[in-house]
Amino acid sequence: MKLIIGLGNPGKQYEGTRHNIGFEAVAALQERLKLGGFRNESKFNAEVARGEFNGEKVILAQPQTFMNLSGHAVLDLKQFYKIENEDIWLIFDDVDLALGTLRLRESGSAGTHNGVKSVIQILSSEDFPRFKLGIESRGTISPAEQDISSFVLEPFRSEEHFQVKEMISLFVDSAVFALKKGFSKAVEEFSQ
């Protein structure tokens, strides 16, 4: 069983923002895998979609806790489904990676990402796979001096949409590959 979680903030005002690319990516994966649709499940405080792919149960989730409290929804899902950390895959924006960059890691620190910090703190572990989606464009497309907190909460600019779409497509390809052949092989094949 795999639990694949895209991080983001709930609410219309956050749709399409850089910080919500984890939600967009997991929704694109749901479409590719043809799993059931997302439903709000209050016991997990998350939108959840379920199904099977390649003979394995797959659960996709979008926590509705707001980014800084994401770990609570992750823990609720982990405990309910009795899933080991290595079977919890996290998808999130990374302001330390150039826009359009996909990086896969089997473990590691949270960097500057408060949602990942929450997950690490609640799970008491850094050892879970993650897909990092690069969103940084300050100094090229966006103003160089813009602070991180306002930058991540703004929508992508129209001239960035093609790169974002390509990156999400690459993420979906990498996740499907990882489900078929294992996360370690996907790291070798897809990480930029």
Q: Tell me which residues are annotated as active site.
A: 19
Taking the C-alpha atoms of residue 169 and residue 174, their distance in angstroms, rounded to an integer, is: 9
Q: What are the residue ranges of helices labelled H in 99-160?
A: 114-123, 148-152
Quick one: tokens of 120?
């690490």
126 with 108: CB under 8 angstroms?
yes
CA distances from 171 to 44, 55, 156 (A): 25, 21, 18
